[in-house]
Structure 1
Amino acid sequence: MYFCGPTVYNYVHVGNARPFVVSMVAKRYFESLGYRVTLVENITDIDDRIIQKGIAEGRPASAVAAEFAQAYRDDTDRLGLGRPDIEPLATEHVADIIALIESLVKRSHAYQAGSDVYFNVASYPAYGRLSKQQVGEMRHGARIDVEEKKADPLDFALWKGAKSGEPAWDSPWGPGRPGWHIECSAMSLKYLGAGFDIHGGGRDLIFPHHENEIAQAEGALGQPFVRFWMHNGMLNLTEVKMSKSLGNILTLRDVLDKYRPEALIAAFLGSHYRSPLEFSAELLAETEQQVDRLRNVFRELADAAVGTGSEGGAADIGAPL
């Protein structure tokens, strides 16, 4: 399984925790059925927002990413669900990304324009399949920014030429850095191979991120990328999606300072993972009570087991409580 992790330019909000919980619980469930599961969950540590924050604060983008990547690990550790098997950083896989772009160029699915490299959407007829959109409709109203040299408004960047003051790596197209979408394609294929079982993330990633991942991977390999997709619903505050760009966020660390992690997990698992979730203090107060009731049940089971002289089994249930 591969789940898209956070872009680390700030503390993760509680909405970012939902795909993390979904992925870790899914891993445990499949393992309980006897499957051997490898869960890969990336950390995007090079991105426009990271660079912009570094410039605003007068420090390297790498320092911003390192600080908030560790904060993300610390905050999600508090959930008590363990860690994914592999948590790759985009900056540690630039060579894999370049190799994937080279394959796309060789197969005429990508082209160089100035110091940038773009994916040629017209070369991939299945584009739009995941998001159930027609290319013609997507193209209507789309435009090319002045600084872009791409041939089609729908084409997207695989490699961005270096700009002054930005991190850069050497490549066949000159110094630059990867585009966001190609990072996940390269890292998932490196660790899981083509045709792996499950790819997940928030519903907001269906388009363009996951649509572009499919096009890149299948364009480069000529075979199916993923068997199944899992997209969790968004967390809403007053019926509006929680996001950093809207400024209506609750950080995960703030929520865990006020509520037990079990209550947050119970809130996430109390509805279908694909459904949007109205998030509120009332919801967490309710799940706190649910957790208390479950703890009481386990204590009673443990006490009953001790009273009847049972060994192991049920008596162990109450041990952590």
Structure 2
Amino acid sequence: MLTRNDRTIEDASEQLKTALRLGVRHIGFKDIGLPIDQLKALNQSIKAGGATSYLEVVSLDAESEIVSVKAAAEIGVDVLLGGTRVDDVLPLLADTEIQYFPFPGRITGHPSVLQGSIEEIVKSAEALTAREGVHGLDLLAYRSKEDVPALIKAVCAAVSKPVYVAGSIDTAEQIAILKEAGAAGFTIGTAALDGKYPAEDKDVTGQLRAIIRDVAALNQHLSPFHKKNLTSSFGRFNDTWSPKIAGQINEMQIKLAKFSGEFVWHFHKSKDALFFVHKGRLLMKFRDRDEIIEEGEFIVVPHGVEHCPVALTDTCEVVLLEPGTTVNAGAAADGRMVIELGQI
């Protein structure tokens, strides 16, 4: 959220550029802090950057909430967060495509505080999500005096619509708690803008990078893999006709093999294979022709096709791409058949 203490920040347009550059695709602001013409421009910039726009209502009385909802429709946001007067809001959104996520429970003060027991908040959540036109909830869990994890879990368990959690979230532990409890998402603004989120860098770029990283880690979206160098990888073994597993993509394995001399005629009943020559020259014999594969070239051998690889240099370094169940000699009887492959 481009907000601090429940107000849209003055430099929201500049901070938006940072968020979009880092790949943030869900960006919101409050209905107060900037005039409506600037909020319109902000919304247009969010959408032009390929992100979903959110406006969170923080109005304290019925009249101002209605004004805010009308402003949301005029601005053209994708999602309306917050507010408590559902009976007044739903008719105003009926002819729009805006998704509506009101606050469950009793909201007081500014910045907003969530009042009531867990049981009362759950009852409110159930009643709200039963309404047609309510797409989910904006739960101010971290501005409640109740047990926050228990509150989030109870609300998420009680309703079938998505629950966004808000209210001074500023640690990875809090984010992990709401994910574990079943929340669909969360809002964060002041913490990142004020450098409160635990990160090496306190500027907005460093803060957002840390938040994005922690969310990616929770969702298991971080890659454990690093680049590999073919020359150094081939330098780690000397045996020939014994492929080494260098990586795997779904059911396909990337294998490194050194060829020397001539292999055996064979075929694979149901597995295709790709041979990429990294170093040396490879002759691939087929029953109807011979193919010479030079460095930097590759050839695909379809399943069922008899072939016989021959190294034309003392050693030929070959990258293989084939299913993990492929046996190097196929069904042929050969002493160089390898069943259990080493890793590289």
Task: Give the TM-score normalised by structure 1.
Answer: 0.29
Richer in helix (by share): 1
Structure whose CA Rg is larger: 2
Q: Give 1 or 2: higher strand fraction.
A: 2
